[in-house]
Structure 1
């Protein structure tokens, strides 16, 4: 672990609904009661293996596209899978997914890769179809706060 634990948020945020979810996750992860954890935000197409290797935990955000995670998040995983395969085992992650009508395939695809990388589910996934409700946004806040709290020194 780094001197100050680092939580890496890798996201693809192409819509207002995902933007609202992203902001709620960030708010939870940076709540004043979360002390001694740095949140690093990276768009999925900008995140790198060095970001993953420097992180102690992960938050992942994606739309569900045609029964799968976004191409941007898949590109992220493609670029970091082998360089980070053994180095990040056992680290916690959280996932939020937005879909117009279904999130099942996107969740299955992310879980398959995170399992292969040895990441541990650190909180319940937040799965939203349609416009996020206040309860959905509260669940996103809790996702960010929960994963961040697990990294507190």
Structure 2
């Protein structure tokens, strides 16, 4: 590939769990020297950042069986300005959930399908089992094994971009 490839990792995190997952994915992706990795909070990203990237990793907590409001705001701001301009680009997702995370994962899949992105991995869901108000609001510490999985996903995305297989 002549032009450098960019992997955009977009996240929102209130209690730190999703941020840890996104940072682990960034560390894995950074191992691929042919790919530039951008880690941005969802509030910092707009259509220009989406258009400048060749691949995406969307990371969110599951809040009330949905993606976080901040990530939803990102999609609301960017959806139409990039529609039909990023077709076929690869994406994957990370979800930090208290129980199962499947609704948030499905919501990202539906949005990505509308953007005509190509899923290159199943959603990676990490369950914290936080079920009380105190546990839900407490700072999270993601386990080492789950962070290894996040790192591997980031590495796989970057490697695929570098090799042009997506």
**TM-score normalised by the shorter chain: which range applies?**
over 0.9
2: CA distance, partners of 1:46 / 1:16 = 17
Q: Which runs of 5+ in 2 are unaligned?
A: 129-140
What is the TM-score of this pair, normalised by structure 2? 0.85
TM-score by length of 1: 0.92
Task: Give matches, 1:1-153, under 5 Å.
Answer: 3-31=3-31, 34-130=32-128, 132-152=142-162
Distance in 1, matches of 2:2 and 2:95, equals: 28
**Comparing 123-132 and 84-93, the one that deviates more:** 123-132
Q: How many residues end up aligned between the 2 structures?
A: 151
Larger Rg: 2
Identify which range, 47-56 or 116-125, moves more after superposition. Answer: 116-125
Contact 2:61 2:97 in 1 (8 A): yes
Q: Which runs of 5+ in 1 are unaligned?
A: none
Relative to structure 1, the CA distance from residue 68 to residue 104 in structure 2 (aligned partners, 3 Å threshold; closer, same or farther) is same
Secondary structure at the residue paired with 1:124?
coil
Cα RMSD (Å): 1.6
Q: Post-superposition shift, 1:22?
A: 1.9
Conserved? CA contact 1:2–1:54, under 8 Å: no
The 2-side partners of 1:37 and 1:23 are apart by 16
**Aligned 8 A contact 1:124 1:143 in 2:** no
